[in-house]
Structure 1
């Protein structure tokens, strides 16, 4: 007896999934990420100190202002993709203008491990005079031995 779902003959349902298109898509994505990942590292070349610390809670949606001091003692201000070399006096002026436009913007300091302690302290003092009450310091985690 042939029912309404009988297809006739010896045809069995196919239980295999063709994964070739999935593999192709994954390989394309892998190549894209391999090419774009080095481009995501931006900014001034700074050899950050390595310390063990807890990461900051990111509760703000504001992109932080990053003020960097490279090994030559030059100052740079980064906001998003824009990075500008400035003097210490210009740091204060630009931060004041930025905080007037967007109050509550976090300010972070990236100091090269080989720069003198006095330059980082001068920068932090300048930021405090500019009205920044809370300055974060950026570091790298130490290499793990495991």
Structure 2
């Protein structure tokens, strides 16, 4: 008998387990598991709205209100006689079922009080679509 390094004899049975077949079986099981699992789709179900047959929205009527440096008012190019006529036209516009868009376009040297009065009148009479147009002329470069 030839003694081994740790003092055990050559004829004694080996006490260690051979793990190679165990690892082989586990790898085969892992591959089978991966193959049999269904592919997961990363999708989100969304309910899309159906196509509507509604008519397209109506283009809004636009009213250009020009205010000059001299203090005159122009409603779509027609010169107004004064604030009373402006009030009447704004009141007529507010009474319409589809209110027009009021684009106020003051000139560069128009008086602030006149522009503010036109804005206040439009707001007081209930107009919802009011805007200042042409303010890019006052931008600093």
TM-score, with normalisation over the residues of structure 1? Answer: 0.48
Report which of the two structures shows the higher radius of gyration computed on alpha carbons: 2
- Higher-RCO chain (CA-CA 8 Å, sequence separation at least 6): 1
